Structure 1
Amino acid sequence: MSLDQWLAERLSNTKDAGLYRTLRKMEQAPGRTNIIDGRKQLVFSSNNYLGLAADLRVVEAAKLAIEGFGTGSSGSRLTTGNASWHEKLEGKLASFKQTEAALLFSSGYLANIGVLSSIPQEGDIILSDELNHASLIDGCRLSKADKKIYPHLHMEMLETLLKESMHYNHRFIVTDGVFSMDGTIAPLDKIRQLADTYDAYLVVDDAHGTGVTGETGIGTCERFGVACDVIIGTLSKAVGCEGGFAAGSRTLIDFLRNHARSFIFQTSIPQSSCAAAYTALAIIESDKSRLQQLKKLSNHIRKELVEMDFYIRGEETPIIPVIIGDTHKATQFAEKLQAKGIFAPAIRPPTVAEGEARIRVTVTADHTEEDINYLLHSFYLIGREMCIIQDAKIGSSKGEGHDEYR
């Protein structure tokens, strides 16, 4: 059997299970709407939470940097790829996250891999939440430390594992701040207390918390008023740009600069990306209206969907998972949404567990009241049609609106 024949058989099994994936072509800059595969759609699946990815101030900052510094960095940070904008952005990130220092990576994925493959070592143990992002999981796998997984947000089990791990040299608790598929928030106040009690280090990936969680958007640590030993994040979600980072003490950052392979051997991000991210962070710091609008819209959608009797996960975030369960049903629901001009793809295994397929609605500060009402009305109609909800209330979402997408 040839390689292509073998792979074709495996792809056939993927299709039969309803798990086959294809790419959708976006033809405009990220925004509340986009031209997707040639058709205008309302986008409710983007991580561009604050609508900064196409903000003219951010775009202009990138343009000016390209004119001055070109399109690529030409090397790793330790060779020819370190420039003024990299250091300026690291200073801004440290200030924003209220830490001593920060270090840029080319993506959040590489930041997680770099931290977890370099700091924990043989003789240590990593305790990881079962719903941590794939990049955290992969970073843990690359580490020579032992690993134990605790049930999602299960503090009692985490404490039990900590008690059982006291013979290890070092203990690391690794968790997302905001979990990207469930919209749940790690109780960092309780985790910090356990870490202090059992002499453990706390590593938090705040990719989906940065810019949108906490009173001022600093992140999940601000939300709970705690300090974390290592904060990891990305610039590709609420910040609307590209790249990842780790933030913490000066000693931590110096160590990563010398030991994190995904920093040492990776070409640095272009200065234009740094200039754009710096500008976006400055906007987040100076203008809280986007954050306030985002929270208002997110809370409204969550409340209305619950009243319709949909099964919703998560809290206080722009991530609103609507659990459908069956993979084929979730895919059908997403197709019906798309037929109405709403782009919110089904999330299926292995991204989520079997029987946990869902529509993961994400909200941005740029969405309008009319957008929200049309989304809710469409969920109501499709939910009734597919017998997912029954005689539910629909509240303010009765108005159909948005004829242009139908």
Structure 2
Amino acid sequence: MHDKFAQAIADRKASNRHRVLRPVEPVAPGIVRRDGRELLDFSSNDYLGLAHHPELARRAADWGERYGTGARGSRLVTGTLSVHRDIEARVAAFKGMESALLVASGWQANATLIPALMKLVPGAAVLADWLIHASIHHGIAASRTKHHGYRHNDLDHLEDLLSDHGARAPSRIIITESVFSMDGDRADLKRLVAIARKHDALLVVDEAHATGVLGKGGAGLTADLVDKPDIVMGTFSKAFGSFGAYIAASEEICDYLVNAASGFIYTTAPPPPVLGAIDAALDLVPGMDAQRAHLAQLAGRLRAGLDGLGLDTGLSDTQIVPVTIGTEAKTMSISAALEDAGALGVAIRPPTVPEGQSRVRFSLSSAHTTDHVDRVIEVMGKLA
């Protein structure tokens, strides 16, 4: 058996798909230190620079002292803390939904949500954008159901599938991200809601990369809709600078998930220090319109500069700006050259992205400056 591990690693190295854990030390928002060198960090999801905000650190420490450093166990076993309920109420109001449920991580939220839904409606047709996050693919696979995937953001294709497979199924579930993590483009949520209503389908939207960054007060793209999706999830580990995730929906759906979502039932609740940081971020994020505007301006500047070099940034129109290179080897080479020049732009390779679409993905932060962006454009120009 042990020789199989060695062979698997060798195969990954041969195909330029071997991953390694490389130490890094955060220095300040948008800057990290590696091997004694300070680097511009275009690799993190700390979109508003809140991971270093003193108020998040202060409140995390305060809540740790007041409520303890651990949640002690599952909320259904040890009891739910008042601070868990308080944060859930704040998140529901922030998202404009009836109720919300805290989950340990974004991966866990998606991986447990979909199997829980499929318990309720066995045989439902699941129709999800092919470029959804790996955690959603995992949740669909764990449900032991067929994924009728529709082409990326091709809602005509989705309607065709609903008229075919969906019409023969007892129920229909549509799943999408609002901002796609590897491409930086957006879903047409208004039309998706209309399609869901037309076909009597449940609509689930992953707002991980929109929460805090887009929508009124940073509440995400779904918060701007009058007719909202049935279920919205998002994370606190990106623009909120903390950790954990939420699922927002009706009171009835959240009540059902408390009783059916194994990833909620059988896991320890988020600890009080994490909740304290989330609480502080909920105070700060709605008032950060200037930072959001600056972030959008930086992303536009980066896209314009890269497009001017003839590089392919796809349909990105958010703070996530990919440059599709193609082969794994060339992408790794460009990522290494960027680091040599003082900037972290991480190589994203299959299976995270489709075959032949390896890319360097730039994730911007409002802590970056126009000079930081211009340095990246200059380096990419030399590489191009």
TM range (shorter): over 0.9
* Post-superposition offset of 1:30: 6.0
Check 1:177–1:57 CA distance in 2 against 1; reply closer, same or farther (3 A cut).
Answer: same
Are the counterparts in 2 of residues 126 and 171 from structure 1 also a CA contact under 8 Å?
yes
| 1:148 aligns to 2:148 (yes or no) | yes
Question: What residue is the counterpart of 2:219 in the other structure?
Answer: 218
Match of 1:17 in 2: 15
Say yes or no: does 1:361 pair with 2:362. Answer: yes
Q: How far apart, CA to CA, are the structure 2 residues paired with 1:239 and 1:37? A: 28
Aligned equivalent of 2:72: 74
Deviation at 1:198, TM superposition (A): 1.0
Deviating more after overlay: 263-272 vs 77-86: 77-86
Following superposition, the deviation at residue 65 of structure 1 comes to 0.9
Find the counterpart in structure 2 of residue 119 from structure 1: 117
Instruction: Measure, in 1, the Cα distance between the counterparts of 2:297 and 2:64.
Output: 36
Find out whether 1:330 has 2:345 as its counterpart.
no
Preserved CA contact (<8 Å) 2:96 2:223: no
User: What is the match of residue 134 of structure 1?
Assistant: 134
Alpha-carbon contact 2:303-2:313 (below 8 Å) kept: yes
Q: Which amino acid aligns with 1:13?
A: D
One-letter amino acid matched to 1:294: L
CA distance in 1 between partners of 2:18 and 2:240 (Å): 31
Question: Compared with structure 1, are the counterparts of its residues 295 and 223 closer, same or farther at alpha carbon in structure 2 (3 Å cutoff)?
Answer: farther
Partner of 1:400: none
Cα offset for 1:110?
1.0
Structure 1 contact 74–267 (Cα < 8 Å) conserved: yes
Does the 8 A contact of 1:114 with 1:256 survive in 2? no
Structure richer in helix, relative to its length: 2
CA contact (8 A) 2:217 2:288 kept: no
Residue number in structure 2 paired with 1:31: 29
Q: Which residue of 1 aligns with 2:346?
A: 345
Using the alignment, how far apart are the partners of 1:37 and 1:72 within structure 2? 33
Deviation at 1:104, TM superposition (A): 0.2
| Structure 1 consecutive aligned stretches of length 4 or more whose deviation exceeds 3 Å | 222-226
Using the TM superposition, name which of 16-25 and 32-41 deviates more.
32-41
**Superposition deviation, residue 29 in structure 1:** 5.5
Q: Aligned AA for 1:39?
A: R
Q: Does 1:239 align with 2:240?
A: yes
3-state SS of 1:78 partner: helix
Q: Deviations over 1:350-389 (max 9, x none)?
A: 1111110100001000002221111111111111xxxxxx
Unmatched 5+ residue regions in structure 1? Answer: 384-406
Instruction: State the one-letter code of the partner of 2:153.
Output: L
Measured in 1, the distance between the counterparts of 2:87 and 2:226 equals 24
Counterpart CA distance in 2 for 1:216 and 1:307 is: 32
Tell me how far apart the structure 2 counterparts of residues 253 and 320 of structure 1 sit (CA, whole Å): 34
* Structure 1 residue 47: Cα displacement: 0.3
Residues 321 and 359, structure 1, Cα contact 8 Å, conserved in 2: yes
Is the 2:217–2:287 contact (alpha carbons within 8 Å) kept by the matching residues of 1?
no
- The offset of 1:256, in angstroms, is 0.6
Q: What amino acid maps onto 2:283 in structure 1? A: A
TM-score, normalised to structure 1, is 0.91
2:192 aligned with 1:194, yes or no?
no
Is the partner of 2:205 in helix, strand or coil? strand
State the AA in 2 paired with 1:47: N
Specify the code of the residue in structure 1 equivalent to 2:207.
Answer: D
RMSD of aligned residue pairs (Cα, Å) = 1.4
1:28, 1:361 → 2: CA distance? 17
Q: TM-score, normalised by structure 2?
A: 0.96
- Report SS of the residue matched to 2:368: coil
Shift in CA distance, 367/268, structure 1 to aligned 2, threshold 3 Å: same
1:401 alignment partner in structure 2: none
What is the Cα deviation at residue 145 of structure 1? 4.2
Q: CA deviation at 1:203?
A: 0.4
Gaps of 5+ in 2: none
Report the counterpart of residue 94 of structure 2 in structure 1: 96
- Equivalent pair of 2:334/2:383 in contact (CA under 8 Å): yes
User: 2:59: which partner in 1?
Assistant: 61
- Judge conservation of contact 2:211–2:220 (CA < 8 Å) in 1: yes
CA offset at residue 19 of structure 1?
Answer: 0.7
- Name the amino acid aligned to 2:133: H
- Aligned counterparts of 1:259 and 1:382: Cα–Cα separation in 2: 51
Q: How many residues align?
A: 381
Structure 2: distance between partners of 1:29 and 1:236: 18
**Residue type at the aligned position of 2:315:** G
Amino acid at match of 1:321: P
Corresponding residue number in structure 2 for 1:158: 158
SS at match of 2:25: coil
Per-residue CA deviations over 1:67-98 (Å, capped at 9, x if unaligned) read 11222111011122621221111011101100
State whether residues 259 and 265 of structure 2, in contact with CA within 8 Å, keep that contact through their aligned partners in structure 1.
Answer: yes
- Tell me which amino acid in the other structure corresponds to 1:80: T
Q: Deviations over 1:98-121 (max 9, x none)?
A: 001100000011111221011123
Secondary structure of residue in 1 paired with 2:306? helix
The letter for the 2-side match of 1:26 is V
Shift of 1:289: 1.4
Mapped partners of 1:73, 1:131: distance in 2:
35
